[in-house]
Amino acid sequence: MRKVSINSMRKAVRATKGRAMRLVIMASGRGSNFTAIDDAIKSGKLYAKIVAVVSDKTDAAVIGKALKAGVPNVVLLARKGFATRNDYDTALVELVKGFNPDYIALAGFMRVLGKEFVGRFTGRIVNIHPALLPSFPGLDAQKQALEYGAKVTGCTVHFVDEGTDTGPIILQRAVPVLEGDDEERLSQRILEQEHILYVEALGLLADGKVSLTGRTVRIVDEGDIE
């Protein structure tokens, strides 16, 4: 089989060889994706360690869930303590850098990351979005799909760039929109798939099976990596 040419991703992938992938999760809300990832790790499905959970919201349920789950660092860094967006971004970089992550997984982090953060961790930040990108980016993706009259929507795990939900796509899963769906029912069915898809994507990253060239993500076998 053709060898897959290697790019900057490979370094990050290689760094995880032989040890658990160090994962920082950033979240602002309920934390169901955090729990799905944590469960997958604890059940041995995902070879990773959540080294920190970072939230920007004081009342985020994910904070309690992370503490209960025994995550070693659970940090609240609220935007309001910082004069400018850039100052906040710089503080986030410093904080996350200290945890020495292989990957950073955004799981409902309700803030667009700035240039500095994305630049510092290029190719190592991933996000989950509740629609089949590039359709329905941004907020209320499930509502957008319903209002548009889409018959199929779903979820996407993608690398994060400076745009809103515009980075290279790693994996997607389709979810049909059913007759009589409202936002809540559709969101719930998508969420069930998100939990499966995020764990699958993180597993591929942990195993060094994700290669990124430009916008193109390939899932490769280890033997295909030069």
DSSP SS3 for 164: coil
Alpha carbons 16 and 202: distance in angstroms, whole number: 12
Minimum distance from CB of 141 to ligand GRF (Å)?
Answer: 8
Binders of ligand GRF among 179-198, rule CB under 6 A?
Answer: 191, 194
* 129 binds ligand GRF, rule: CB under 6 A: yes
Stretch of residues binding ligand GRF (CB under 6 A), selected from 23-31, 37-45, 177-185, 217-225: 23-31
Indicate if 195 belongs to the active site: no
* 130 binds ligand GRF, rule: CB under 6 A: yes
Exactly one of 30, 45, 111, 143 binds ligand GRF (CB under 6 A); that residue is: 30
CB 118 within 8 A of CB 96: no
Instruction: Spot the catalytic one: 10, 22, 129, 195.
Output: 129
Q: Which residue sits closest to ligand GRF, CB atoms considered? A: 108
Rank residues 93 and 128 by Cβ distance to ligand GRF and give the closer one.
Answer: 128
Rank residues 130 and 167 by Cβ distance to ligand GRF and give the closer one.
Answer: 130
Alpha carbons 128 and 136: distance in angstroms, whole number: 13
* 27 binds ligand GRF, rule: CB under 6 A: yes
* 137 binds ligand GRF, rule: CB under 6 A: no
Alpha helix positions (H), the chain: 9-15, 32-42, 61-69, 85-97, 115-120, 141-148, 183-206
- Give the strand order in the sheet containing 21-26: 74-76, 48-55, 21-26, 103-106, 125-129, 152-159, 169-176
Please give the structure tokens belonging to residue 156: 């996407």
- Contact residues for ligand GRF (CB under 6 A)? 27, 29-33, 107-108, 128-130, 191, 194
| Catalytic annotation, residues | 129
